[in-house]
Structure 1
């Protein structure tokens, strides 16, 4: 059955990237987003070189690179302010051919939406897979307009994916990582002298300069699942008030009603596949991960380009979707595992354990820049396949 229509469930970065990639392959596509509006504006993200190359395939890479803010010093510090390991955005770009571009999440959403045909994205439009279909029959998706057949369904419906639960009912689902996170964007009026992360016992804070003198500031700390403070603003001051500048100052600037707090859950148990029938799982629905490598959105964007590269309007999904799983499942499983391992390092809290961690980071910081950056080569050197628009 030819791909006369594709339906994407979920209007986050992964879902929108998939829609744009499919559109560039000549496949008609609609996006159904349950929420009344697209993602919240109060957070940023880091687009690593692997994601930037994939975004180039979608035609939006240059727009997002233009928003990136170069910084001469990025790395990891001790709460006292002492650098443990550092480099610069220029060094990253020289080594990998692209920087790590820090941008507001809302800017990525806007770039993807603007590149899609008008009317592609429908908000306040929940959609549910009723039948995943097979090589003979289309999938069926229930929407507010009724049941719709689809040659392909891309399920980018997040970590609590109803589609994943339907396709793989025996999978245990997401596990709590032990961490909760806080995120906000502030405008302090001038760029801080230091960017990157500060690691303390069982918690970290991050500082990411954005365009227009904005700063994306975030924290992660061990906490029981579901715990909440009477005032998250006050909780941040309790956790980080005695850390090095400008961490407490930036958290103090955050507007209390614009601080996002989310517990971190991940799919520590890999799925048996990233597809079933005519449905492809993408992003958090397929491989939700801890944020400690900054690869969640990056891997979703990779998914989108790889999936679309295997498809054309006349594609045989009986071979294309297994090829998608074969290309993506080993890589995403490795990134989920590596992100969890990094979280285990951040979770260390005893004086002896944190001293060992600090010593290890300090020794790593003494390595030549090329050697230090080379540790990220497996992630950052990934090359996306070409899409039809480029062939």
Structure 2
């Protein structure tokens, strides 16, 4: 049986370990941080990714820490509805769509790895600094200064780099990929404890992109305080001066953004008050990496953000990593030559995910708010059908879902003819 080393114990690395274990492997994980903590804010787990968690036997536990998505609604910056659609099972998909705190998702996967692979499966405080390979295997060198009991070197048949957007493994394999691509936009990501909004499983897309920026709101934990309130995740995307990667995950206040959506009159939600009452708020530069020309190099490959760091638009990043994990485990199980197995994994996954990396740079379905803003002159309207007919909105959403691999149940194979292709993908720059 192959000896497999995974570099990184975030959600993607943990999912990879669980998928490999399903196939009979016992991978070893090495993580740079000395302690796994439930960090981060909200993530949107699409039905195809819930399917992956279900196949790992984690559905019930996942439901206990997450909120089922019921509807997705788009509003102008004045609070006028543009378009709405149902989510997950409510739209006819086989599986739910669910919202969850990233840290809670990671801790669930971490517990599962410890239970199934054993408490020694993950070595913490062990940062990968170098690796070399020959025809028989890979030697990985670590900085173990935070955990002197950890090894400084290990030998493996296969190494999987799952060490995130600032991947050491990727930067050594592809030095030119080390430079990140900054969008010119900054995300303010916060969480607020508050009563359920609308269905209690609604995701709201609010704002006039030109005038205000974008606000996305959705719940990530039910009954967070024992009084029926939810933990609600919100994200504001705005043009800002360039940020560096050193500003990643920087805690900040809300003074700069608390009045941005004062004009938004939703009736059921005071947006400005939600922002002011934030329990915490973080600043993120919106960055990704250009699509990679290669993932697998002999006995070493990449997975998750290390392979395809993308903007969080569309909620596909961690979801795609879960698919990576399954495909990689299947190939390593089915193909006896590990080099050929890693190549087969890349051939199945790379082009599909590279499309999503570029698509995430475009507006995706969020384009409907810009279309309405341009056609209405940035003013309130009397009838959305005169500005943006429902059938036009439906065509945009149908095409996006199809291209992202989430074809709406009942939609014909050729129902998305490519009319809105430019909305979803941009040229690589």
TM-score (norm 2): 0.77
The aligned residue for residue 154 of structure 1 is 160
State the alpha-carbon separation in 2 of the partners of residues 341 and 364 from structure 1. 22
State the alpha-carbon separation in 1 of the partners of residues 389 and 48 from structure 2. 23
The aligned residue for residue 388 of structure 1 is none
Whether the 8 Å CA contact 2:82–2:369 is kept in 1: the answer is no
Match of 1:97 among 94, 107, 111: 94
CA-based RMSD of the aligned residues comes to: 3.3
Q: Which has the higher helix share?
A: 1
The aligned residue for residue 13 of structure 1 is 11
Match of 1:174 among 175, 180, 194: 180
| Aligned: 1:208 with 2:222 | no
Identify unmatched segments of 5+ residues in structure 1.
383-391
| Aligned: 1:251 with 2:248 | no
| Aligned: 1:28 with 2:52 | no
Deviations 1:203-238 (A, max 9, x none): 211111232222112211111222889953212214
| Aligned: 1:326 with 2:362 | no
SS in structure 2 opposite 1:51? helix
Whether the 8 Å CA contact 1:18–1:301 is kept in 2: the answer is yes
Question: What is the aligned length?
Answer: 373
Whether the 8 Å CA contact 1:42–1:260 is kept in 2: the answer is no
Deviations 1:326-360 (A, max 9, x none): 0111111111111111179599699748859x989
Whether the 8 Å CA contact 1:242–1:248 is kept in 2: the answer is no
State the alpha-carbon separation in 1 of the partners of residues 401 and 390 from structure 2. 14
Whether the 8 Å CA contact 1:44–1:216 is kept in 2: the answer is yes
State the alpha-carbon separation in 1 of the partners of residues 340 and 110 from structure 2. 30
State the alpha-carbon separation in 2 of the partners of residues 314 and 366 from structure 1. 47
State the alpha-carbon separation in 2 of the partners of residues 284 and 172 from structure 1. 13
SS in structure 2 opposite 1:240? coil
The aligned residue for residue 412 of structure 2 is none
Match of 2:287 among 265, 285, 298: 265
- After TM superposition, the runs of 4+ consecutive aligned structure 1 residues lying more than 6 A away are 227-230, 346-351, 358-362, 368-371
State the alpha-carbon separation in 2 of the partners of residues 80 and 185 from structure 1. 22
The aligned residue for residue 385 of structure 1 is none
State the alpha-carbon separation in 2 of the partners of residues 41 and 354 from structure 1. 41
**Mean Cα deviation higher: 176-185 or 325-334:** 176-185
Identify unmatched segments of 5+ residues in structure 2.
145-150, 224-229, 408-429
The aligned residue for residue 309 of structure 1 is 330
Q: Shift in Å at residue 109 of structure 1?
A: 0.9
SS in structure 1 opposite 2:324? helix
| Aligned: 1:192 with 2:197 | yes
Q: Shift in Å at residue 26 of structure 1?
A: 1.5
Q: Shift in Å at residue 68 of structure 1?
A: 4.1
The aligned residue for residue 139 of structure 2 is 140
State the alpha-carbon separation in 2 of the partners of residues 335 and 342 from structure 1. 12
Whether the 8 Å CA contact 2:38–2:106 is kept in 1: the answer is no
**Mean Cα deviation higher: 179-188 or 221-230:** 221-230
Question: Structure 1 369/63 Cα, relative in aligned 2: closer, same or farther at 3 Å?
Answer: farther
**Mean Cα deviation higher: 92-101 or 65-74:** 65-74
SS in structure 1 opposite 2:92? helix
Question: Structure 1 230/278 Cα, relative in aligned 2: closer, same or farther at 3 Å?
Answer: closer
Whether the 8 Å CA contact 1:201–1:354 is kept in 2: the answer is no
Q: Shift in Å at residue 51 of structure 1?
A: 0.9
Whether the 8 Å CA contact 2:254–2:281 is kept in 1: the answer is yes
The aligned residue for residue 386 of structure 1 is none
Question: Structure 1 248/313 Cα, relative in aligned 2: closer, same or farther at 3 Å?
Answer: same
